[in-house]
Chains A and B, each alone.
Chain A
Amino acid sequence: MTTLTVTINERAYGPMDVRDDLTMNDFLREFLGLTGTKFGCGAAQCLSCAVIVDSTDGTSYTMPTCVAPATGFHGKAIRTVEGHVKNGELSALQKAFIDHFAFQCGYCTAGFLNEGQVLLERLEKKRVPRAELEKTIAEALDGHLCRCTGYIKYHEAVRDLILADPKRYLV
């Protein structure tokens, strides 16, 4: 057993003792009931289980939870799909996903949403030229698997959100 303290969606959990072989995915879903984070392939290949990790330097990145020990998140701050809504209102990216019919069964959506959100925040800090936007989005969403709608609608949702506010995201 190892002590775990972790901040999830701005709420502190722990300190608590957790098994060393407990995955973060099981911790979120089975212990905390945060079932928005999915369990897909179980091998970090579909990324439906990805959450956002907020680093202390102000940068963020996504991380699969199905192959990662919960104890590996000790002291970290993460965001799950449940953390995107603010004051009862969906985030801009969530709205864009709905407007574009980006998802069908929704199993991969939490992973795409987290990845897209990280990209938006990254672009706010370091904007890219319009000519590089398509490639930037494709690289960011690469690795996330979707079996229903394909990938184009997710891509278009992220792109159109960025193009709707070019000064914020583009050089």
Chain B
Amino acid sequence: MEIYLDNSATTKAYESVRDIVGKVMCEDYGNPSSMHRKGVEAERYVKDAQETFAKLLKVQEKEIYFTSCGTESDNLALIGGAWANCRAGKHLITTVIEHPAILNAMRYLEEEEGFRVTYLPVDEYGRVRLSALKQALCKETILVSIMYVNNEVGSVQPIMEAASIVKAYNRNILFHVDAVQGFGKYRIYPKKTGIDMLSLSGHKIHGPKGVGVLYISEKAKVKPIIFGGGQQKNMRSGTENVPGIAGIAQAAREIYTGLDEKVARMRALKRRFIEGVGEIEDTTIHGLYDETSAPHIISVGFAGIRSEVLLHALEEKGIYVSSGSACSSNHPSVSGVLKGIGAKKEYLDATLRFSMSEFTTQEEIDYTLESLYNCVPMLRKYTRH
């Protein structure tokens, strides 16, 4: 039995995605920049994909750019946004629970480019403190970046409120949202919300790896960070990854088909799983349980068991999950997110993340619970001194 509960790390591709990627690679393999028919055919896929995302996000086609991954989208938004607007000020704002693609790009801007960065704290449920955002905004602020759904604990950020605070303070401040974990679970409309830039990734929505999207509002000033043949209006040079672009668009279309039922099913499974985990002593659920949290992510602390050991114990039963924080015996590096929400010390190195997809079944959840009932007491018997 193989039970894949690590869908926030990556997902299995839809069969329709596999088909279209294969077709583009082997049949419609032209270069969109070529002048002949083969090139025009390939360009069609890129245009269709732009149209798909424009519809789903209710934005314009020309505001959609394709990148190599979520990380590149985040880097282009932050670094390109900072470069283009640095004459207006050199202050950036983000949160302590962002993905490393944001945090390390921010650190680069801080250490190498002389920007000042404010890292906003979060509450115990992993939601950014809006009062801190209000305090942090200043005349120098040019860009704010807040994620949609946190990848470790599944907390959903108050994006709408944050956007109004930012835009009320100064409508020229760029508001970027990393929606890699939120897209395909929520309907996201940047223009209504006040989002200037939005990052998406293909392989988190049953699409291919190696392709991402960045929405950039036509009003936003952003400079390219990759230089070359001038593709995508010079914003992102490099021959378009046409198979990947066709694939991510197909995945986006399919994941939004019947979305509400899919999400409702995941929520029911999440409730069932949380109730089941509650039967085990000395466990905790990080973040919120209810409808205000992401439907697919459950972060559970198991006191007294190193997460890596429980992860491998579940692996032996065919269940694949992530540890809440990467850690090894020699170099303990505890998750910034768990610290940020003020998780108790005994859970910092003892947390697993279970993340579902639309393919997750009740049997799989029940089997996982059974396995936890077996493993957890056994592993708690043996601890390091």
Q: Do A and B actually bind?
A: no
